[in-house]
Every structure is written in structure tokens, then in C-alpha cells.
Structure 1
Amino acid sequence: MDSDDWDARYAGSAELVWTAEPNRFVVAAAADLSPGDALDLAAGEGRNAVWLAERGWRVTAVDFSPVAVERGRQLAGRRGVPVRWQVADVTATAPEPDRYDLVVVAYLHLPPADLATVLAGTRRALRPGGTAVVVGHDRANLDAGTGGPRDPAILLTPEAVVAGLTGLRVDRAETARRPVAVAGGTVDALDTVVVARRPG
């Protein structure tokens, strides 16, 4: 999907397309970190960016959908927190090197070459001691989970993400279960979760 497709998807819903609550794996990875400068790549409607800002992080949130960015601005305004918003394609605009204490990449699904570009930018954007958190639908989700894209070429694996973060110290790399509410109960989605740090 290109930015126009995402604009249409976001504009077609009166409510947030995604929940306003932050992703559970981002929360787990960032909850005990000391706030500093954070970058949320492909931030969508800003749920993770706003959560970080509420905890004292100085957040820059980037997405190529102007509609998503505007929704993020509105969410931040309702929550009373500052976030620096940018409309940009994260595959074409590299973040500033050595600038961030935390970089979040959540549910960004791209062809392998584009994903490698984003992960390389993520790695370079970290300051010494900085943390990268990458979360997305795992390839195993096709057969054993629920939701997410159906194209295996754009789904993640822990191994592929770790390979794109060469030089970082990996603290967590796994396929994790994420309960999803459905009629009559819950089912598990399977997500790739990678948390890695730049040596300090």
C-alpha cells in the first residue's frame, strides 16, 4: 500500500484505525528506560509516540500518511503531550545518525530490501547505549496465528530483523504470542519481537 492507500484507510474511519493504547511489546521494552530522545518510524496514528511522550521522552514520530500524522497530532493534543510530527517515507528519508536513545519500528511490513534500509537507518540513528525495538507480524502467523498481512515476503522473522541490526547487542529476539479479542474469547497473533542495544 502506498501513502494514498493509507490516507484513504485512515480517512475512512471516524475512530482510530488502531487502538490508542501502546503496543505491549514496546511498553515492555521501554518501560524501564530513562527518557531521552525517541524516534517512532512509521508511527501511524501515534499510539506508541504519545505513550512515550507521556513518560517524558522527547519524541519524533514519522509516517508517510498525512492523515495518520494529523490523527497523531490530535491524539497528542488530547493527551496534552508534545510530539514532533513528520510526514516522510521512512524508506527514502534516513534519520539523523547518533541522535536517538530509542528507535521504535512497529508493524512496518516491507519487501526485504526496503526493510533492510529501514533497519540500517535505525541502527545508525542510535546513540551509544541506545535501544532499538522492532515489532511486527511474524511469518509463522500465516499458519499459526491471526490477522496481519498474508504475503510471506513482507512478514518478519526474528532472524531477519537481527541480521538487519548488525553491530547491536540483542537482548530479545523471538516469536511472541499476542492475544487478540474475538467473538467468544481470544486467539493469539504471532509477532516478531526484537530488542537490541548499541554498545555504549
Structure 2
Amino acid sequence: MTANGWDERYRGEEYVFGKEPNAFLKQEAHRFEPGGNVLAVADGEGRNGVFLASLGLAVHAIDASSVALEKSAKLARDSGVEIELELADLSDWSWPDAQYDYVVAIFIQFADPAGRARLFEGMQRAVKPGGLVLLHGYRPEQVDLGTGGPPQREHMYTRSLLLEAFSDFEIVSLKEYDAEIHEGQGHHGLSALIDLIARRPAGDP
């Protein structure tokens, strides 16, 4: 979907994916040390970035939709937190080197396999040695369930795909499971999920 397409999807008062944080992210909140900094990739309307800021993190949230970022700014104000927002096209965004303690990517499955490879490479580059990448998304079975996400199986994640993509990182956790999720109108119902938490080696140059 183009940036204009996302703008149209996010337009209106309602938050497409709700205002509450993603269940996986909330469950893993204990992994975040207050005072650290985090990059929230394709953070949309801000539900996850605002939650991370509430944990005492310095949040840099990027997204391709200006409409989503406006709603994210409002949600942050209403929640009494501050987050840094940046309009960014991830297909050509300049990923920084070793800048963040954490990189968080929740349901970023708009990318085709080639785009996904670039995203994963950028995320790994952006996290500091010793830092964590937290990734949450759908498995291919999600297409049959039809309760959220794009209809393309090739956009989904498998265990082997993630193990290969993050082979240079320490795999802290990798889980496949089905669960009922209710995150606005965008993600609603039984879902085929997969989570990855991976640590960049502390000695990585």
C-alpha cells in the first residue's frame, strides 16, 4: 500500500488498530530498561510508541503516513507522554548505525520479500551491540483466517525465515502460536502469530 493509501485508511476519528498496545509488546514490557531509546518501525497511529514512552523510554517513531503521525501526536498528548515522530518512506529511509537500545516492529507485513530483507537489514544495523530487536507478525496461515494483515502469503513470517534472517543475532525467543486478538477493527479474531526477540551480539563492531 502506498503512503496515500495508508493516509486514506487512517483518516477519521477512529484508531484503526485501537489505542491499546499490542499484546505481545505489553507482555514483553519487562525487557525494556527505563532511560533507553527505541525505534518504533512503521508505528502507525502510535499505540505502541505511546506505550513504550509510558515505560520511560525515549521513542523515535517512524511511519509513511502523515495522517497516522497526526493521530499518534494526539494520542501522545492525551496520554501525557512525548515521542519523536518522523515521516519516513521505509523503502529508502537511511537507517542509522548502532543508535538504539531497542528496535520494535509490530505487524510490518506491508513489505514484499525484497523489501522485507531491506527492513530486517536496517533494523539489525540500527540496534546497538547488546540491544534487542522485537518483531511480531503473522504466519502464512493468517491468510486463510482473514482476521488481519495483507492477503499475500509471501509477506508473512515463518520460523525458518526469521532464523535465517537473524542468524548473526542471539535468538532470545522465537514463538509460533494462534491466539485471539482484538486490536481495533484492523486485527480482530483468531490469528496465526509469530514473535521474535533477538539480541545483537555485544562484541559486534
Aligned partner of 1:156 in structure 2 is 157
Aligned partner of 2:53 in structure 1 is 53
Q: Deviations over 1:76-110 (max 9, x none)?
A: 01111110000001221132111101101111111
Question: What's the CA shift for 1:161?
Answer: 2.5
Question: What's the CA shift for 1:26?
Answer: 1.5
Aligned partner of 1:75 in structure 2 is 75
Q: Structure 2 vs 1, CA of residues 8 and 104 (structure 1 numbering), >3 Å: closer, same or farther?
A: same
The one-letter code of the counterpart of 2:53 is A
The one-letter code of the counterpart of 1:56 is G
Moved more, 188-197 or 29-38: 29-38
Question: What's the CA shift for 1:143?
Answer: 3.5
Q: Work out the number of aligned pairs and report it.
A: 195
Q: Deviations over 1:141-190 (max 9, x none)?
A: 23357332221121222322332223110112222223135xxxx95211
CA distance in 1, matches of 2:189, 2:41: 28
Question: What's the CA shift for 1:134?
Answer: 0.8
2:201 is aligned with 1:199: yes
Aligned partner of 1:125 in structure 2 is 126
Matches within 5 A, 1:1-16: 1-11=1-11, 13-16=12-15
Question: What's the CA shift for 1:33?
Answer: 2.4
Q: Superposition RMSD on alpha carbons, in Å?
A: 1.7
* Identical-residue share of aligned pairs (%): 32
Answer yes or no: is the 8 Å Cα contact 1:132–1:195 preserved in 2: yes
Question: What's the CA shift for 1:119?
Answer: 0.5
Q: Structure 2 vs 1, CA of residues 65 and 100 (structure 1 numbering), >3 Å: closer, same or farther?
A: same
The one-letter code of the counterpart of 2:101 is D
Structure 1: unaligned runs, 5 residues or longer? none
Give me the TM-score of the superposition, normalised by structure 2. Answer: 0.89
CA distance in 1, matches of 2:171, 2:163: 8
Answer yes or no: is the 8 Å Cα contact 1:138–1:190 preserved in 2: yes
Structure 2: unaligned runs, 5 residues or longer? 183-187
CA distance in 1, matches of 2:43, 2:32: 20
Aligned partner of 1:106 in structure 2 is 106
Aligned partner of 2:166 in structure 1 is 165
Question: What's the CA shift for 1:116?
Answer: 0.6
Answer yes or no: is the 8 Å Cα contact 1:162–1:194 preserved in 2: no
Q: Structure 2 vs 1, CA of residues 27 and 180 (structure 1 numbering), >3 Å: closer, same or farther?
A: closer
CA distance in 2, matches of 1:187, 1:125: 33
CA distance in 1, matches of 2:181, 2:200: 32
The one-letter code of the counterpart of 1:5 is G
Where 1:18 maps in the other structure, the secondary structure is coil
Aligned partner of 2:87 in structure 1 is 87
CA distance in 2, matches of 1:116, 1:75: 31
CA distance in 2, matches of 1:66, 1:163: 34
Where 2:154 maps in the other structure, the secondary structure is helix
